[in-house]
């Protein structure tokens, strides 16, 4: 065992091909430790005979803006501490063209989003499928027909002197003012006034709205449309998610940060997944949306329901959009009850 550990500590650069056979898009990944960071490089290749557009979202091609990696240390999960972004419908700029036989590479510091502070054997697993469109599909913007290439392989490396590694950065939020609300905790605002009163209106609506959503948990059309076949166990998970959100809204001072420093185009908001996160960062497109729930459209209220399910209840981004969320409920209800967008749609339809 000692010999194996010595080998791992000396050889910290491992490469692994990551793709299912028969798919045109493949991925190779390599990870290594520098003095103060762990970096992973990713090479995406088009092995097919035609050109494809690779979807950049939920991949390192957009940096670490989603948990596309799962990292464990000797079986213990290392929590993702990076941002999770609320996406608006994709445009062509969210894709990169990979011509037949070509590849594209990118390197990211995984210690920007994961706290690696204990020596040991780490497994870094790529845990999201690669999504892509043909040239003709891109011309028609058939984003609901994204093809997928599964990626499940992993890299192992033994890390020593992890106390020297940088930790994920925490944004310091300077509060401009706080509004205390009856039966709804308080809402704080940072980085100026961007029609803060409208965000406050949507925030206050959530406090009562979550109670309405809780009453819709059960074997009924609204529940099953967004979460799939009702069972007591799944229903309990949905209920606990709303309970976490309700408790956070009622008891904590939650902060809205205008024009978040990590905002990019075609993104409305972002936060970090944790039971104790208290800040949602708002981005440009958010401000032009209507305030209250309106069908399945993007509104401030629905986006805040989505973001607080991340921040206060640690829900994930399994799928996005009406059609994808409905299909997720039909095909994989266990994933649907973990999906933030499913909660936002269920919440709004419950109002």
Nearest 10 degrees: Cα torsion 7, 10, 12, 16:
-40
Q: Tell me the per-residue pLDDT of 84-106, one tens digit each, with 9 for 90 and over.
A: 999 988 889 999 999 999 999 99
30/12 Cα distance (integer angstroms): 9
151/170 Cα distance (integer angstroms): 30
Residue 18's pLDDT band (cuts 50, 70, 90) = very low
Locate 157 and state its tokens. 């490396």
Locate 275 and state its tokens. 């039971």
Residue 277: predicted pLDDT: 77
Above 50 in pLDDT, residue 296? yes
Mean pLDDT of 55-82: 94
141/298 Cα distance (integer angstroms): 20
Residue 50: predicted pLDDT: 95
| Cβ atoms 123, 176 nearer than 8 A | no
Task: Give the dihedral sign, CA 95/97/101/104.
Answer: negative
| Cβ atoms 312, 340 nearer than 8 A | no
Locate 195 and state its tokens. 């029609």
231/220 Cα distance (integer angstroms): 11
Mean pLDDT of 213-231: 97
Map residue 212 onto helix, strand or coil: helix
Q: 13-27, 102-116, 137-151, 154-168: lowest mean pLDDT where?
A: 13-27
Residue 182: predicted pLDDT: 86
Neighbours of 16 (CB within 10 A): 16
Above 80 in pLDDT, residue 16? no
Q: Tell me the per-residue pLDDT of 122-132, one tens digit each, with 9 for 90 and over.
A: 999 999 999 99
Q: Which domains does the chain have, with CATH numbers?
A: 25-164 (2.60.40.2970), 177-350 (3.40.390.10)
Q: Mean pLDDT of all residues in the chain?
A: 90
Instruction: Report the Cα 86 to chain-centroid distance in Å.
Output: 8
Residue 139's pLDDT band (cuts 50, 70, 90) = confident
Mean pLDDT of 22-40: 92
334/234 Cα distance (integer angstroms): 7
Map residue 241 onto helix, strand or coil: helix
Residue 112: predicted pLDDT: 95
Residue 198's pLDDT band (cuts 50, 70, 90) = very high
Q: Tell me the per-residue pLDDT of 183-197, one tens digit each, with 9 for 90 and over.
A: 888 999 999 999 999
Mean pLDDT of 189-214: 96
In sequence order, what DSSP letters do the residues of 279-306 get, joined into one string? EEEE-GGGGGSBSS--TTS-BHHHHHHH
Q: Tell me the per-residue pLDDT of 232-287, one tens digit each, with 9 for 90 and over.
A: 999 999 999 999 999 999 998 899 999 999 999 899 999 987 656 789 999 999 99
pTM over 0.75: yes
Mean pLDDT of 282-302: 97
Choose between 74 and 145: higher pLDDT. Answer: 74
Residue 348's pLDDT band (cuts 50, 70, 90) = very high
Residue 179: predicted pLDDT: 95
| Cβ atoms 98, 46 nearer than 8 A | yes
351/338 Cα distance (integer angstroms): 21
Instruction: Report the Cα 260 to chain-centroid distance in Å.
Output: 16
158/54 Cα distance (integer angstroms): 32
Residue 4: predicted pLDDT: 36
Strand partners for 126: 69
Q: Give the length of the chain.
A: 351
* In 162-266, beta strands by DSSP E: 177-180, 186-190, 253-257
Distances (CA, A) of 6 to 103, 120, 157: 34, 11, 11
| Cβ atoms 132, 52 nearer than 8 A | yes
Locate 60 and state its tokens. 């390192």
Above 80 in pLDDT, residue 317? yes
Above 60 in pLDDT, residue 19? no
Residue 256: predicted pLDDT: 97
Residue 11: predicted pLDDT: 35
Angle between helices 232-251 and 340-349 (to 10 degrees): 80
- Percent pLDDT > 70 in the chain is 92
Q: 247 exposed, middle or buried (CB, 10 Å; 0-12, 13-18, 19+)?
A: middle
């Amino acid at each position: 065992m000692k010999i194996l550990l010595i080998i791992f500590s000396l050889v910290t650069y491992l490469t692994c091909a990551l793709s299912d056979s028969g798919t045109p898009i493949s991925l190779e990944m390599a990870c290594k430790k520098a003095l103060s960071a762990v970096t992973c490089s990713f090479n995406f290749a088009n092995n097919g005979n035609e050109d494809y557009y690779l979807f950049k979202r939920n991949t390192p091609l957009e940096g670490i803006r989603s948990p596309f990696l799962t990292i464990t240390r000797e079986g213990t999960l290392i929590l993702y501490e990076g941002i999770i972004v609320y996406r608006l419908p994709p445009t062509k700029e969210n894709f990169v063209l990979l011509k037949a036989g070509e590849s594209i590479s990118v390197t990211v510091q995984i210690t920007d989003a994961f706290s690696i502070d204990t020596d040991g054997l780490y497994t870094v697993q790529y845990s999201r499928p690669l999504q892509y469109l043909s040239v003709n599909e891109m011309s028609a913007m058939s984003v609901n027909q994204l093809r997928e290439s599964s990626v499940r392989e992993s890299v192992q490396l033994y890390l020593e002197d992890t106390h020297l590694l940088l930790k994920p950065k925490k944004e310091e939020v300077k509060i401009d003012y706080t509004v205390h609300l009856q039966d709804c905790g308080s809402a704080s605002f940072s980085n100026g006034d961007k029609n803060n009163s409208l965000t406050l209106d949507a925030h206050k609506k959530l406090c009562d709205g979550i109670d309405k959503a809780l009453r819709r948990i059960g074997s009924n059309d609204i529940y099953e449309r967004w979460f799939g076949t009702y069972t007591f166990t799944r229903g309990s998970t949905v209920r606990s998610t709303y309970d976490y959100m309700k408790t956070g809204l009622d008891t904590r001072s939650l902060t809205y940060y205008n024009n978040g420093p990590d905002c990019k185009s075609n993104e409305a908001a972002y936060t970090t997944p944790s039971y104790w996160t208290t800040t949602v960062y708002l981005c440009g497109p958010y401000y032009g949306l209507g305030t209250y729930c309106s069908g399945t459209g993007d509104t401030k209220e629905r986006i805040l329901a989505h973001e607080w399910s991340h921040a206060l209840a640690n829900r994930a981004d399994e799928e996005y959009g009406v059609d994808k969320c409905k299909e997720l409920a039909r095909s994989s209800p266990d994933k649907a009850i973990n999906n933030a967008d499913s909660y936002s749609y269920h919440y709004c339809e419950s109002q």
